[in-house]
Amino acid sequence: MFLPFNKPYLPWSSCKNMILGALSGTIAGNGKYTKKCHRFFEQRFGFMKVLMTTSCSDALEMASLLCRIEPGDEVIMPSFTFMSAANAFLMRGARIIFADTLSEVPNIDPDEIEKLITPKTKVIVVAHYSGIACNMDMIMKLAADHMLFVVEDAAHAVDSCFRGRPLGSIGHFGAFSFHETKNIISGEGGLLIVNSKDHEKRAEILWEKGTNRAAFYRGEIDKYQWIDVGSSFLPSDAVAALLYSQLSRFDKIQRRRKKIWWSYCELLKPLEECGYLKRPVIPEFSTVNGSSFYITVESGLIRDKLLHSLKEHGIGAVFHYLPLHSSPCFLDKHDGRALPNTDRFSSTILRLPFYYSLKKSQIKYIADQITRFFT
Taking only the tens place, the pLDDT of each residue in 72-119 is 999 999 999 999 999 999 999 999 999 999 999 999 999 999 999 999
pLDDT tens, residue by residue, 259-280: 999 999 999 999 999 999 999 9
Of the two residues 334 and 315, the one the predictor is more confident about is 315
Q: Give the pLDDT mean for 60-74.
A: 98
pLDDT tens, residue by residue, 303-327: 999 999 999 999 999 999 999 999 9
On whether the pTM is more than 0.85, the answer is: yes
Helix (H) or strand (E) holding 142: helix 136-146
Percent of the chain predicted with pLDDT > 70: 99
Q: Give the pLDDT mean for 50-79.
A: 98
- Contact criterion met (CB below 8 Å) for 95 and 75: yes
Choose among 328, 333, 331, 329: nearest CA to 95.
Answer: 333
Instruction: For residue 234, give the amino acid letter.
Output: L
Phi (first) and psi of residue 50, to 5 degrees: -130, 155
Residue 17, pLDDT score:
75
Residue 3, pLDDT score:
98
Percent of the chain predicted with pLDDT > 90: 90
DSSP structure class, residue 324: G
Phi (first) and psi of residue 344, to 5 degrees: -70, -45
Answer yes or no: is pLDDT of 13 > 80.
Answer: no
Q: Which domains does the chain have, with CATH numbers?
A: 14-247 (3.40.640.10), 250-374 (3.90.1150.10)
pLDDT tens, residue by residue, 107-160: 999 999 999 999 999 999 999 999 999 999 999 999 999 999 999 999 999 999
Identify the band that residue 340 occupies on the pLDDT scale cut at 50, 70 and 90.
very high
- What whole-number distance in Å separates Cα of residue 364 and Cα of residue 359? 9
Helix (H) or strand (E) holding 217: helix 213-217
pLDDT tens, residue by residue, 153-186: 999 999 999 999 999 999 999 999 999 999 999 9
